[in-house]
Chain A
Amino acid sequence: MGKPGPEKQITPVTMHAAAQGEKHRRTTTPRLLLLLGPAVAIISVLFGGGLLLGLLQALGYRPQDGLVSLSFEYFAAVGADPYFFKSLALTFYISATSTAIAALLSVATALFMHFKAAQNRLLHFILQIPLTVPHLVVAISMFMLLTPSGLFSRLLCRAGIISSPAAFPLLVNDPFGISILTVYIWKEVPFITFMVLTVLKSMETELLEAGASLGATPMQRFRHIILPTIAPSLGSGCFIVFAFTFGAFEVPYLLGRTFPLTMPVWSYKNFSDIDLAARPAGIAIGIIIAATVIISLFFSQLLLNYSRNREARS
């Protein structure tokens, strides 16, 4: 997590970065099975099994009640709910906005850390602190900071800008999810920054020097040399953050409005309903969340391949 050694280890999210380091070694099949078998078995059973059983339950499969035929009734009911698109849109808005802002801040921070403060170990340490703080704690803290009677409101009141909590803008349980975005940005900027820093550290400096001596402006050097280098790592970092925020429960549960709910909160609300009949709908929403994330992974890979091919052609 950002120390000299470990930073390297964050690289492999960018699967091609890992591929570069490989020397195409081969080993025997039994040895491979011994190394990979247990992990593949655990993840297939728990993860694959969990998704499969979830899908079956969402399709109404309940052998213990004699219901063995599958139907899309729960998915159809969820999709037909006027709530559905509002919830999907809110969830997408929160994930996309926090990821985009975090990406911009991360690139700026990584460039600064690499080119201006590479020797500043204390700053590196400070930037690692948010990685260790659970989202739940950050959410509670943002609540204490941003509610109408929170610390920021008190600060503005002291400064004479507002006269009462009522004059403070609504930043918690608000339509734009400001406090939710703030929590995610605070948590994810260091994560993406360290992923980008790893690549910057291993970047050849000759290219930048050549660019500079040929009279490239800083902006041109960024656009044509630095950005292509960090793009894969930045892309995977952003994707992980997007997927995480899309499926996260605690932060929108604590800081969001009661209508519309984000998809994960809506899903769990149905799942934990006293009326057990609501449970399959909750699981169906969970499956929709998983499917959305997997489909976006597929499209982001397509996009990556497309842009790489285009680059190769030009």
Chain B
Amino acid sequence: MKIRHFPFVASIVFAVIIPFLPLILWSFSTRYHYPALLPQEFGIRGWMYVLDTARGQIAAGIYESFTLALVTTLISLVFGLPAGRALGLYDFPGKKLASLLLMLPVIVPPLSVTMGLHLWFIRLELVETFAGVVLIHLTFCLPYTIFVFWGVFSDYDPDFEDQARSLGASPSHVVFKIMLPMVLPGVVVAALFSFLLSWSQYLSTLIIGGGKMLTLPILLFSLMDSGDRPIAGAVCLIFILPAFLALIATTKSLGHQSLKGMH
């Protein structure tokens, strides 16, 4: 790294890191009164609460959030990949209209749609159920996956599939041995997008889950109301952790040189 670039690099790093500081400081404090910069008394009361006292509730929240995000992501991938392939590879009449419909949920806020669906979901007995919340998350995760695969398949060369087929490969062989390995980085990115989107949903989960689906964001909101900062800080850090690990994992799997180039 050149010396004259240092201010710019430093400000990027500083800007990214600074919001983590109060979360970490508060989560490890027992006495932290104004105007002290560091806690007067460090302690693990917040972490004890999260990892011991309310362990069951937090673990259930993680489980709920994780399974919701996982199921939503799997369904998004299964339907998003073919749709992205159609948009990325082929020309057809009505393509503009189809792409507009499939991309609109990316920009129209979940709030507007969820409030409309609520009454209908009550009749179908989908409110307060896992399936109902998966469906509402899917409404916003699926378009993002399609969007990612659209880009992937714009750069994709299907001639490889023809060659495999002419050599006698079966359709499932073409899909699993030719196409999927070629678009694998795209699958990882699409999955990450979809997982993160579902993982951080609050309002749509609250409206459709009706307070029965106690995901991490729902728990965090109720903790904020109680105003206990050490606990809120600890839960925030737990909330960030899985996504952060996923980022590290994808960075590793997508580019091994990721941590090298700090010259």
Contact = CB atoms under 8 A, between A and B. Distances in A.
Interface stretch (A67-75, A76-84, A215-223, A248-256): A248-256
A10 interface: yes
Given A42-B138, A51-B113, A123-B9, A136 B22 contact: no
15 contacts: A9-B151, A10-B148, A25-B89, A46-B138, A47-B139, A49-B116, A134-B217, A137-B23, A140-B232, A141-B22, A151-B21, A154-B34, A247-B110, A268-B111, A287-B116
Given A43-B101, A129-B16, A136 B202 contact: yes
Contact of B34 (A53, A157, A264): A157
A32 B154 contact: no
B236 A141 contact: yes
Given A43-B139, A151-B37, A50 B9 contact: no
Q: Which of A123, A132, A142 has the largest number of chain B CB atoms within 10 A? A: A132
Interface in B40-68: none
B90 A122 contact: no
Main secondary structure of the interface of A (DSSP, over half): helix
Nearest to B106: A240
B131 to A, nearest CB: 12
Contact of A40 (B13, B101, B150): B101
B91 A249 contact: no
Contacts of B15: 186
B113 to A, nearest CB: 4
B224 interface: yes
A306 interface: no
Contact of A158 (B18, B37, B87): B37
B92 A34 contact: no
Given A46-B113, A150-B22, A254-B224, A125 B192 contact: no
B259 interface: yes
Contacts of B240: 132-134, 137
Contacts of A26: 90-92
Interface in B14-41: 15-16, 18-23, 25-26, 34-37
A27 B92 contact: yes
B209 interface: no
B139 A46 contact: yes
Contacts, number: 322
Interface in B227-263: 229, 232-233, 236, 239-240, 243-244, 246-247, 250-251, 254-255, 257-263
Contact of B82 (A13, A36, A271): A36
Interface residues of B, number: 107
Per CB-CB distance, the 6 closest pairs between chain A and chain B, nearest first, are A247-B109, A54-B116, A134-B200, A144-B22, A50-B113, A21-B154
Interface of B: 1-2, 5, 8-9, 12-13, 15-16, 18-23, 25-26, 34-37, 79-80, 82-83, 85-92, 98-99, 101-102, 104-117, 119-120, 135-136, 138-139, 142-143, 146-152, 154-155, 158, 185-186, 188-190, 192-193, 196, 199-200, 202-203, 207, 217, 220-221, 224, 229, 232-233, 236, 239-240, 243-244, 246-247, 250-251, 254-255, 257-263
Contact of B16 (A48, A130, A249): A130
A10 B2 CA distance: 30
Given A6-B254, A22-B91, A57 B116 contact: yes
Given A119-B261, A126-B12, A46 B136 contact: yes
A186 B146 CA distance: 26
A1 B35 CA distance: 40
B111 A15 contact: no
A211 B89 CA distance: 35
A8 B156 CA distance: 12
A243 interface: yes
A230 interface: no
Interface string A8-25: 111111010010011011
B8 A116 contact: yes
Contact of A39 (B91, B142, B259): B142
A72 B89 CA distance: 44
A242 B6 CA distance: 31
Contact of B189 (A6, A25, A36): A6
A43 B224 CA distance: 34
Contact of B22 (A3, A151, A244, A250): A151
Contacts of A126: 12-13, 16
Given A35-B82, A144-B233, 19 more contacts: A3-B189, A5-B189, A12-B88, A25-B158, A32-B90, A35-B83, A35-B85, A46-B117, A46-B139, A52-B116, A54-B112, A57-B116, A116-B8, A117-B5, A125-B259, A127-B12, A129-B244, A134-B239, A249-B203
Interface stretch (A96-104, A169-177, A288-296): A288-296
Contact of A9 (B36, B189, B200, B233): B189
A87 interface: no
A268 B114 CA distance: 11
A24 B154 CA distance: 11
Contact of B229 (A43, A131, A144): A144
A165 interface: yes
Contacts of A25: 89-91, 158
